[in-house]
Homo-oligomer: A and B are copies of this chain.
């Protein structure tokens, strides 16, 4: 693994052995509160590079090595106060993630530019789904996406613009994303080829390893 900086965004890059460059790359987004080399990201990156892909992961604003973003910090505090005051978490979180995505979409596009990637997959759940839906909708170099642990409140309209194949993960006992919200987001994707995988477990429980196997086969079908 090596690190680089693209327009001040810290990026981790893994490349498989015996390749000339990261032409087929999977971009991973870490979860909320995590960072580009959190254990879950490193594990995924190792599995994907073993399957022959290059992998990149960037720190999301206000995460990892990035400086505190005062505007996002204030917005997060405001949201926390409004949730404490009884407002619906899902819609507030949706507004927050849309704000962050306005930054991460161009940041990640710059990463693909910098690496000279013309075909990419995307993998992101939870925060990585909230930020991934607008990214996948906006970026034609992304040809297939694994998304999940996110709901329709954030992204249904944007999701309808996605037409590339999607594999969508639900934790069946997710205590943070209401099940019907997850099902509604899957329903919203405009993709002709989309597949929903649900497994028992709460929001932050480890995903079954067979879902990583499945993601590798999913990317192999479309990248």
Contacts and interface: CB of A to CB of B under 8 A. Distances in A.
Interface stretch (A1-9, A132-140, A207-215): A207-215
A43 to B, nearest CB: 19
Nearest to A196: B198
A196 B197 contact: yes
Nearest to A187: B172
A186 to B, nearest CB: 7
B195 A195 contact: no
A194 B183 contact: no
B196 A192 contact: no
A114 interface: no
The range of chain A's interface size is: 20 to 34
Contacts of A82: none
Contact of A210 (B198, B208, B217): B217
Interface in A175-223: 183, 186-187, 192-200, 208, 210, 213-214, 217, 221
19 contacts: A170-B196, A172-B186, A172-B187, A183-B183, A186-B198, A193-B200, A194-B200, A195-B197, A195-B208, A195-B210, A196-B196, A196-B197, A196-B198, A196-B199, A197-B197, A210-B217, A210-B221, A213-B217, A214-B214
Given A194-B200, A195-B210, 9 more contacts: A172-B186, A172-B196, A186-B198, A194-B199, A196-B196, A196-B198, A196-B199, A198-B198, A210-B217
Interface of A: 170, 172, 183, 186-187, 192-200, 208, 210, 213-214, 217, 221
